[in-house]
Structure 1
Amino acid sequence: MEDQETVLDEAVDGFRRRAGGIAWRWEEPTPCEEWSVLDLVEHVITGNALAVHLLEGGSAGTAPPPPQTPEAATALQRFEHSARLQREAFSRASTLGKVCDHPAGRVTGRELLRYRAADIAVHTWDLARALGLDEALDPLVVETAISHYLPWIASMPSSSHFRAPDGLPPAGASAQHRLLHAVGRPPVR
């Protein structure tokens, strides 16, 4: 079995590398139709904060809301801070077996870690596509997402962020292509 924390670290590092290429392009559109690059980064920050909240015993109903007015000037600093707090929360010995009250249902800390890594990876691809950067995702994170995240996503209603795929991916498609196809992302331009 994969080292749980390594999967999360690889996903966060991939996002961090792409986020470093944002510069002034915060308003660029992303594959998440109604989100700009800034909205996408805020979503990842909010997801990190939600994970910490849930791991500390909070429930989905008591989670702090995302900011009303996202601020580009502090977004990367807030991403780093949220990623560090999330990593610390997942590093606690009792965390992985803990049952959390996630908005999509009850999940263990181990499942939440995998979901966070996969969600961050998919949004890393979104960010890379929006900014014209390297779209290759870490293979360990992709395999974890396929094994653990896709079954969970398949049980959820379709949204603009995770649309049901059109048809099947091509025969012989790479793992990353299959993942992106399953969450409604066009893996090729």
Structure 2
Amino acid sequence: MGEIAERYRRRAEAFERKVAAVRPEQWENQSPCEKWTARDVVDHVIAMHGYMLEGHTLGDVPDEPLAAFQQARAAVEAVLLDPDQAGQESSTPTGPMTAEAHIDAVVSDDLVLHGWDLARATGQDEAMDPGDVERLWASNSAIPPELIKMYRTPDAFGPGIEVFGPEIPVPPDAPLQNRLLGFIGRQP
């Protein structure tokens, strides 16, 4: 298993644990994403998994969030474990990428960030893996300003798609997780 597949597996396991821990009455809890409930966060993650699988299908996605995520996860892991599929290149909003690199940059990172959203919405442990926080901080803080502007513009990547919210000011000496969350538009 390569580094990207292993990183995805580890992050998917952590996200799956959070989904499994949500009590039935918590699915309608408000998430830190203004327009989303806890259920909407998981639905978004599953939808993004499907988007990453261009040319593949998730099949009939179960209505139950845990089963739906497990199905989406298995489909993405199958791509990551197949060198031909993982190496297949396609165009993305940020330029050409292999399927493996696109999964790493989008859904794998989303598992960490939206895992925090789900944890916050449902009263779970909000601590992110420190290594993931460092990696996400480095990659997100290196995004060129013109692309950041696009990320903060609602509908720039399609109807209803918002990548980052407006930046939330966080003290420069705050923990890195809080600075990352503020940068992407979350109130730590």
How much is the aligned-residue C-alpha RMSD, in angstroms? 2.7
2:9 match: 9
2:68 match: 78
2-structure distance, mates of 1:103, 1:29: 29
2:136 match: 145
Amino-acid identity (%): 27
- Paired residue total: 172
SS in 2 for 1:76: helix
Structure with the greater relative contact order (CA < 8 A, sep ≥ 6): 1 or 2?
A: 1
1:172 equivalent to 2:173? Answer yes
Q: What's the CA shift for 1:99?
A: 2.2
1:162 match: 164
Amino acid at match of 2:101: E
1:52 equivalent to 2:42? Answer no
Q: What's the CA shift for 1:39?
A: 1.2
SS in 1 for 2:135: helix
2:159 match: none
Alignment of 1:13-162 (within 5 A): 13-24=13-24, 25-53=26-54, 56=55, 71=63, 74-102=64-92, 105-115=95-105, 116-152=107-143, 154=148, 156-158=150-152, 159=154, 162=164
1-structure distance, mates of 2:142, 2:101: 12
Q: What's the TM-score, normalizing by structure 2? A: 0.77
Instruction: Check whether the contact 2:168–2:187 (CA below 8 A) recurs between aligned residues.
Output: no
SS in 2 for 1:94: helix
1-structure distance, mates of 2:85, 2:175: 33
The runs of 5 or more residues in structure 2 that have no matched partner are 155-161
2-structure distance, mates of 1:185, 1:119: 14
CA deviation string 1:39-93 (max 9, x = no partner): 111111111111122xx4x7xxxx99xx8xx94xx22101101011111111221
Q: What's the TM-score, normalizing by structure 1? A: 0.77
